[in-house]
Copies of this chain bind each other. A is one copy, B any other.
Amino acid sequence: MNIDMIRAAASRIKGHARRTPILTSPFLDDIAGRRLFVKAECLQHTGSFKFRGGWSAVSSLTDNELKTGVIAFSSGNHAQGVALAAREHGAPAVIVMPSDAPAIKIENTRALGAEVVLYDRQTEDRDEIGTRLAQERGLTLIKPFDNPLVIAGQGTTGLEIAEDMNALGVTDADVVVCCGGGGLTSGIALALAADAPGLRVRPAEPEEFDDVTRSLISGKIESNARLGGSLCDAIITQQPGDLTFPIMLEHCGPGVVVTEDECLRAMALAFERLKIVVEPGGAAALAAALFHPEAFAGDAIVAVATGGNVDAPVFAKALATQANG
């Protein structure tokens, strides 16, 4: 896993993934107490950065592999990213999703032409289901984060951040990334180490799902006790990946842990000040930047808003935090 793989992914993705904008607001700068740049990856195709990794992996398959098809397991964003990438390559896609994923993510995955297989997050093992289906049907398994091609695809986000921050003259900043299994976090970390070495990645996680934060402290892979039941469904992976963790251990600063309520409040501020729709798990980095200023040094932060696939009732709940002050 190295920077050349990320640059190769960037070549394959060019013209297919969207180059998402960096957004700012003087009102958010005031709250954060420093300049705050938001990489709006919720504006990516399928509403999250996952399309990058999906395209990177699918675009690397042989014609025969494309014809047989791909399989992925995902709480929803990876599902949609892989489903759309597969459809645009003419490949069948099977997606294994937890039955408690937001309805919009399940519906969208089906609407993008994929076959959806549901499982119970509390009692069934998605890895086992995915691996078995892959073997039975000869499908190529595209893991959500512990896959070099997926990490490379997510890392293209980091190349763009490096280019944009260099153009703005921002050469010293923390880059806060919403972190589940660490595919995006490790990919961005590798990209920044190469192209913007003054920018340091800081993983952001929700309370009770802070496996990466604890793993970075102990120096070994730690797991979460809980497996589900969080509004931040996009980033509640049980533990960091075997591929992603060593990269994060080498390149990332300490993790930052936020509450669900802070994520909802960050969503409301993104609505009010940036005019973007962010889902709870996709707002963890913004929440860290806005509500944990003490966790950061320096006068600039980049926060990656990783996804926007949120059901209307949850979004309404986030907006209600605004009314309450």
Contact = CB atoms under 8 A, between A and B. Distances in A.
Interface string A200-224: 0000000000000000000000000
Contacts of A26: 84, 112
Interface stretch (A50-58, A237-245, A249-257, A315-323): A315-323
Contacts of A278: 275
Contact of A319 (B84, B312, B322): B312
A180 interface: no
Given A18-B21, A111-B27, A47 B275 contact: yes
Q: Is the interface of A mostly helix, strand, loop or mixed?
A: helix
Interface string A286-325: 0000000000000000000000100010011001101100
Interface in A105-121: 108, 111-112
Interface in A82-107: 84, 104
Interface in A19-62: 19-21, 23, 26-27, 40, 42-43, 47
* 6 closest cross-chain pairs (CB), A and B: A275-B308, A275-B277, A312-B319, A42-B275, A316-B316, A47-B275
Interface of A: 18-21, 23, 26-27, 40, 42-43, 47, 84, 104, 108, 111-112, 268, 271-272, 274-278, 308, 312, 315-316, 319-320, 322-323
